């Protein structure tokens, strides 16, 4: 109702402060898509303030990442996902694991990405392979999620990392693991914040 009243005045700019935060996850995700469509169809520019990066990226064309009141990164949503400016930004954006040193170099080498900077991995960046895989390791305990199985795999040289699978391998089994490039960000430690 509040949104309908606000749009009836045909504002030049609409401020949305945590508009979906009190809703359950499924409703929030569905309404974020609907809200984006409403804003696009009415031609309304909105400034959204939120701590939920999924909500922000569903609604936004352009995003600003703030830390302690300062702009850390600004740009198109897809660019922020692909190239977080630093490790803290990557973690905020949902990259659960950040590899450094030789582990980062090994992942870069496997994907033929030059450099030696940190590598950030989002959920699902490592997946149990149907074949040999780019890396091999030993499966740990697994747990069923809504859409997939998650487990930790001890990968020599990389460490014990979260991996996803369609079917859980037996604990202690040797498994191949593939990298999912779309869920990996290559951090450049020399790049300054924009």
Measure the CA–CA gap between 43 and 74, rounded to whole angstroms: 22
pLDDT tens over the chain, length 194 residues:
888 888 888 898 999 898 888 888 888 889 999 999 999 999 999 998 888 877 888 888 888 888 999 999 999 988 888 889 999 999 988 898 999 999 999 999 999 999 889 999 998 999 999 888 999 999 999 898 877 899 999 999 999 999 999 888 999 999 999 999 999 999 976 444 44
The predicted structure's pLDDT at residue 148: 86
Asked if residue 102 and residue 88 are part of one domain, the reply reads no
The predicted structure's pLDDT at residue 94: 86
The predicted structure's pLDDT at residue 193: 44
Which of 49, 76, 92 is the last residue in one of the domains?
92
The predicted structure's pLDDT at residue 192: 43
Cβ burial, residue 126 (10 Å; 0-12/13-18/19+): buried
Residue 193 lies in a domain: no
The predicted structure's pLDDT at residue 21: 84
**Is residue 45 within 8 Å of residue 57, measured between CB atoms?**
no
Measure the CA–CA gap between 50 and 58, rounded to whole angstroms: 12
**Is residue 15 within 8 Å of residue 22, measured between CB atoms?**
no
Which residue segment(s) compose the domain that 84 sits in?
Answer: 2-92
Question: How many domains in the chain?
Answer: 2
Asked if residue 87 and residue 8 are part of one domain, the reply reads yes
Which of 35, 65, 92 is the last residue in one of the domains?
92
The predicted structure's pLDDT at residue 189: 60
Which of 69, 92, 115 is the last residue in one of the domains?
92
Asked if residue 129 and residue 51 are part of one domain, the reply reads no
CATH number at residue 168: 2.40.50.100
């Amino acid at each position: 109702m509040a949104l309908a009243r606000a749009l009836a005045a045909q504002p030049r700019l609409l401020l949305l402060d945590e508009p979906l935060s009190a809703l359950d996850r499924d409703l929030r995700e569905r309404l974020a898509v609907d809200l984006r469509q409403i804003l696009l169809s009415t031609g309304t520019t909105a400034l959204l303030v939120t701590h939920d990066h999924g909500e922000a990226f569903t609604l936004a064309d352009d995003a600003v990442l703030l830390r302690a009141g300062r702009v850390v990164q600004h740009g198109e949503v897809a660019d922020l996902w692909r190239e977080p400016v630093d490790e803290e930004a990557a973690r905020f954006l949902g990259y659960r694991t950040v590899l450094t040193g030789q582990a980062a170099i090994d992942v870069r080498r496997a994907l033929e990405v030059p450099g030696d900077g940190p590598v950030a991995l989002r959920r699902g960046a490592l997946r149990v392979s149907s074949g040999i895989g780019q890396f091999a390791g030993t499966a740990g305990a697994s747990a069923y999620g809504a859409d997939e199985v998650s487990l930790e795999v001890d990968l020599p040289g990389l460490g014990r990392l979260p991996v996803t699978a369609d079917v859980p391998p037996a604990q202690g089994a040797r498994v191949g693991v593939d990298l999912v490039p779309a869920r990996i960000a290559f951090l450049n430690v020399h790049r300054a914040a924009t």
